[in-house]
Amino acid sequence: MIADPAKESAVRQGAPPFIAADVGGTHARLGLVRVGADGKVDVLQYRRYACAEYPSLAAILDHFAGEFAAERTHAVVAIAGRLEGDTLINSNLQWPVSVRSTREAAGVTHLALLNDFEAVACAMSYVDAATMTRVCGPGTSSNSRASNGPALVLGPGTGFGAALCLPGAQQRAPLRVLASEAGHAALAAGTERELDLVRHLLQRWPHVDNERVLSGPGLVNTYRALCELDGVPATLDNPEAIAAAAQAGTDAHAVETLQLFCALLGSLAGDLAVTFGADAVYLAGGIPAQIRPFLLESQFAARFRNKGVLGEVLARVPVWLVDHGQLGLVGAAAWYYERHSGF
């Protein structure tokens, strides 16, 4: 997803720092970045903003540029959604996004947008393997750039992000990344309880997609549905409270909510790994890192491998948990640098 391709130019080696951003439904992470001769992205300044506290994406860009006296010649924004012409399609953002209006209101000369999980996928090459946690599969880690085949990057957070990494055709060539809207594909139940959940959610929505369950708002949807199915009051009303109660074991329906979340996430990860022949999977959204111990003890691994005759194949596919942190921001900067030439 790129805006104004005829006008875009990237940061060449030795060029001034530029603005990179990672914008999701809840937070916007902005950095003043510089790309070195080796392609490494250095984040010189960094701020995280609550999207709900600003009237537009342009207002956040303007605030950051003003605070750090950043040049407004170049900016790249990794953002949740799909760009159709000048308009971003996304149901989880606080405000509508127009590329032209954002560029003009923020005073940015050249503005590029890409899918947020395309940016996260681009950043996987820069992740230190020692910082990742193995969820299941072989224990030898490798990043997606070193992989011989496709690698999946999945991320449940405010929404559900997904991207497929394909190694470059030549050594040291940029990664090819296919952004995906897998979060909007239909949710596939694997147990009687999950079928009950889907049937219940279908009373609210004509299409129950993965994001209805595998996201922060999805935790709330699931918790309320389970309570309603069992005829008990729902006492928790936000994802953080549900996740905390589940991990503390203080609310039985919160525990079941998180159990179902992990099982369905494992099932979807396995489905996508089979579909694309992935030889590595990375979980990089905001929720997995917050529930790390629970996830590692859950049915994720069993459901990931539960693919019939292909179960043995998936047993050889490593799944890694990666702390999202500044991945989207770094990936956006790397994407911009790799795909364009000098000013």
Q: What is the pLDDT of residues 73-85, one digit of tens each?
A: 999 999 988 888 8
% of residues, the chain, pLDDT over 70? 89
> What SS3 state is found at 135?
strand
Highest mean pLDDT among 72-86, 105-119, 124-138, 260-274: 260-274
State the pLDDT at residue 127: 79
Give strand pairing partners of 115: 79
Q: What is the mean pLDDT of residues 4-32?
A: 71
**Contact at 8 Å (CB) between 74 and 11?**
yes
Give strand pairing partners of 107: none
Give residue 341's pLDDT band: very low, low, confident or very high (50, 70, 90): very low
Q: What is the pLDDT of residues 162-194, one digit of tens each?
A: 999 887 654 555 668 888 889 999 999 999 999
pLDDT at 18 over 70: yes
Question: In 3D, which of 120, 133, 19, 124 has the Cα closest to residue 69?
Answer: 19
The Cα–Cα gap between 154 and 268 comes to: 10
For the structural domain made of 18-122+326-339, what CATH number should be given? 3.30.420.40
Q: What is the mean pLDDT of residues 244-266?
A: 98
> What stretches of the chain show up as alpha helix (H) in DSSP?
57-68, 99-106, 116-123, 192-201, 216-230, 239-248, 252-276, 286-290, 292-296, 300-305, 311-314, 327-339
Q: Which residue has the higher pLDDT, 29 or 168?
A: 29
User: 341: how many CB neighbours lie within 10 A of its CB?
Assistant: 9
State the pLDDT at residue 148: 65
State the pLDDT at residue 36: 79
Asked, colleague to colleague, whether 18-122+326-339 and 128-321 share their fold, the answer is: no
pLDDT at 56 over 50: yes
Q: What is the pLDDT of residues 263-314, one digit of tens each?
A: 999 999 999 999 999 999 999 888 999 999 999 999 999 999 999 999 999 9
pLDDT at 65 over 80: yes
What's the mean pLDDT when you consider all of the chain? 87
**CA angle at 80 for the pair 78 and 82, rounded to the nearest 5°:** 100
pLDDT at 129 over 90: no
The Cα–Cα gap between 225 and 99 comes to: 38
The Cα–Cα gap between 85 and 136 comes to: 40
User: Looking up tokens 């690698």, which residue turns up?
Assistant: 151
Domain spans, the chain: 18-122+326-339, 128-321
Q: What is the pLDDT of residues 193-229, one digit of tens each?
A: 999 999 999 999 999 999 999 999 999 999 999 999 9
pLDDT at 5 over 50: no
Long-range contacts of range 234-239, CB-CB < 8 Å, 24 or more positions apart? Answer: 239/287
Question: In 3D, which of 86, 161, 89 has the Cα closest to residue 122?
Answer: 161
Contacts of 210 (CB under 8 A, 6+ apart): 160, 182, 183, 184, 185, 186, 187, 264, 268
> What SS3 state is found at 74?
strand
For the structural domain made of 128-321, what CATH number should be given? 3.40.367.20
pLDDT at 144 over 90: no
Q: What is the mean pLDDT of residues 126-136?
A: 86
Q: Within the chain, how many helices (H) and strands (E) appear?
A: 12, 13
